[in-house]
Amino acid sequence: MNTRRIVITGGPGTGKSSIIDELKQRGHICFEEISRQITLEARKNGVEQLFLTQPLLFSQLLLEGRSQQYVEADKHDNSTVFMDRGLPDVLAYMDFFGSDYPEDFINTCQKNTYDVVFILSPWQEIFQCDSERYETFEQSELIHERLLKTYEKFNYHLIDIPFDTVEKRVDFIIDSLNSQ
């Protein structure tokens, strides 16, 4: 398969979803972040914050969902597929919270690699909390550092997306991909 898998990652509140929405509006194939879906599903079952009460189960569900997205990308042969977060994000968050995880989490990240990874730095001016995002801006900064370390551990070269309007950030991503 010749599918190009492109990850857009960053700490909470850095603009990932807005960028994915803009990419979709421009006609690109995008897979959305799944943690909100998992969180909302858990709430339907009476668990307010699954990550806080059962971090390993939450992370396993994320890993499974992102692994499924990875496989689904192959249905778009000869295309570029954008993903709101990648598999290594699961490990970065687990490390941030000091949670242990099984070796197969690492193996999954090693086995399923991405072509390009863009990262968004914490940006105070756009950061907002909501009902699914409970992290503070300071925690977003620490998560950003964990993301950098985790992706670098898997030998990714991360491309930093500069602060700008959503449209210009997407232009930067597209221009970067076209120059590779």
Number of Cβ within a 10 Å radius of residue 18: 16
Q: Per-residue pLDDT tens for 28-63?
A: 999 988 887 877 787 787 766 766 677 787 888 889
Say what the pLDDT of residue 131 is: 55
Q: What is the mean pLDDT of residues 6-21?
A: 93
The DSSP 8-state label assigned to residue 142 in this structure reads: H
7 sits in which H/E element:
strand 4-10
d(CA 126, CA 163): 10
Q: What are phi and psi of 111, to 5 degrees?
A: -80, -30
**The domain made up of 4-178 is a member of CATH 3.40.50.300:** yes
* Mean pLDDT for the chain overall: 89
Confidence of residue 121 (pLDDT cuts 50, 70, 90): very high
95 has a pLDDT exceeding 90: yes
Domain boundaries, the chain: 4-178
For residues 105 and 150, the answer to whether their CB atoms sit within 8 Å is no
